Structure 1
């Protein structure tokens, strides 16, 4: 999804929750600032749908959420809407109040990258997500080329990185203890065109 600054005004958390309850759009909250999530491309939507279906259908003991589930990073006073998430503890934990579900203990977070969000997802979001003690794995799926990256936390500050670019490669998702062919994420997807290189 594309993220753009909505306004420079400061939003309290109560203002933000009220905005979410009354709007037809999604917004992310960054410690008083609000970003509107613009609609994604067809490729983005298709990859999100494929990913959610494949993660839900796989054999594991985790609970899979779609992009309607917000994630709360309480330490930073931030709220995000990842494209998918998984809780692998006995129960999902939610931040109380506000009228919307805000997950606090995801183990796996998934973002589908587009031209406008790739840097935001790799930097701002990843940095914030790492503050969650439960967070173990980050799955980034590109909508412009066949490319899936996984970041798996083996220890507190030690991450194992894997990259997959061939459709017949098996993508290992450690938190769910599964492998999936790269091709299932891109089934029926017409990739977004990449902008021409600047000479």
Structure 2
């Protein structure tokens, strides 16, 4: 935890003096770091609630530093990444994949005909608590690879000669870090929701 050093590591503005007053943006970023850590299994639900409460009432950068000092700084690396409100995917007869390290936006518009779209959340950079997917898919499939803390809601999706295959999370008590709301229309295709496969290594 805090050791009295004069700089913050893994927080907004690395090298910031601990005594400086924290801004709303600084508090929000720490809250997001904590949510990602909880989704990775580094914090329990009780620890997450306690630290989020402390982050929202923190007055200085030093108080925020204490809350993330025992977490890998990599979980805060998204601070330098470009975060978009809307990302669009348009394709026909093609395949698109978002994999390790991709930054999850607030909303995605996916227009796909006879192709495949894969959104892998297992090592994604999550900066919002909700992602809305607006679909217009004809043929092919949308695959959502989840991790503990990522939940998918397909209730608003209209299907025509299509199917939805969803696997339940094996860790239901995990705090929700991202809710994926799937809407729009799916014809002659499928949406597959499943957690990452386990490897024996």
**Larger Rg over CA atoms:** 2
Q: TM-score range by the shorter chain?
A: under 0.3
Whichever structure has more strand as a proportion of its residues is: 2
| TM-score for the superposition, normalised by structure 1 | 0.26
| TM-score for the superposition, normalised by structure 2 | 0.26
